[in-house]
């Protein structure tokens, strides 16, 4: 089968390629404007319907189909700087700020008493953030997003707590319900709450696409 001279001239196959290989290459490149390939890797010029594929190629940790086109392009532009920040306290802080700037990070050496090495807590001060903030969906989103950017060796605990100075405003009966702890070092945690959920080898709970924890069948 004879192939167009321009296809042969730009072929990436070696000179001894078989005709079937050359035909397959020609079919794969049909209707593709090679001069535009570079634009596909540019967040500004990539066609909108191909942005999810570009995000996948850059290993973006979180991609929301509900984002606007401008938000998608901005997330792709931030992909490389994001990976440079990933695994640091700064990126965990950045993630928490998207939910509420009053959420706190307390690393193991900052806690009193000190906690196990390579652990940290995400704390929600109940006297500053209203209980209505912490819906099941919000808690799952915080856990998911922090788990995607934290240092790989670290485990974290999500804690809702009440400052001591605020205790006087609550009755004794109410105080017993003001501290909620979600421990995400589940593989090493005797708390049976997590035994019903699938976990990664690092002990993090596994979420489905709809942000619901996957249960052990």
- Give Cα separations from 48 to 39, 73, 141, 150 (angstroms): 12, 9, 26, 30
CB atoms within 10 A of CB 156: 25
Give residue 111's pLDDT: 87
**Average pLDDT of the segment spanning 123-130:** 86
Taking the complete model, does pTM exceed 0.75, yes or no?
Answer: no
Give residue 166's pLDDT: 40
Helices H / strands E in the chain, number of each: 9, 4
Give residue 163's pLDDT: 55
- Give Cα separations from 213 to 40, 172, 182, 207 (angstroms): 35, 33, 13, 5
Residues 44-64 have pLDDT tens digits of 999 998 899 999 998 887 788
**Average pLDDT of the segment spanning 173-185:** 39
Three-state secondary structure call for residue 164: helix
CA trace torsion 196, 201, 204, 207 (10° rounding) = -70
Phi, psi at 140, each rounded to 5°: -65, -40
Closest CA to 105 of 144, 59, 159, 184: 159
């Amino acid at each position: 089968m004879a192939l167009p001279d321009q296809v042969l001239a730009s072929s990436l196959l070696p000179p001894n390629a078989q005709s079937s290989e050359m035909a397959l290459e020609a079919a794969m490149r049909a209707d593709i404007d090679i001069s535009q390939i570079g634009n596909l890797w540019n967040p500004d010029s990539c066609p909108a319907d191909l942005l999810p594929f570009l995000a996948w190629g850059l290993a973006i940790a979180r991609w929301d189909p509900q984002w606007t086109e401008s938000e998608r392009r901005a997330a792709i532009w931030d992909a490389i700087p994001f990976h440079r920040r990933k695994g640091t306290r700064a990126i965990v802080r950045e993630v928490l700020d998207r939910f509420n700037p009053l959420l706190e990070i307390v690393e193991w050496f900052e806690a009193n008493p000190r906690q196990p090495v390579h652990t940290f807590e995400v704390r929600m001060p109940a006297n500053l953030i209203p209980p209505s903030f912490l819906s099941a969906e919000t808690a799952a989103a915080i856990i998911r997003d922090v788990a995607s950017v934290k240092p790989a060796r670290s485990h974290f605990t999500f804690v809702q707590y009440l400052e001591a100075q605020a205790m006087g405003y609550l009755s004794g009966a109410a105080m017993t319900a003001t501290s909620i702890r979600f421990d995400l070092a589940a593989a090493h945690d005797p708390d049976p709450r997590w035994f019903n959920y699938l976990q990664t080898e690092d002990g993090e709970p596994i979420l489905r696409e709809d942000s619901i924890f996957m249960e052990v069948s």
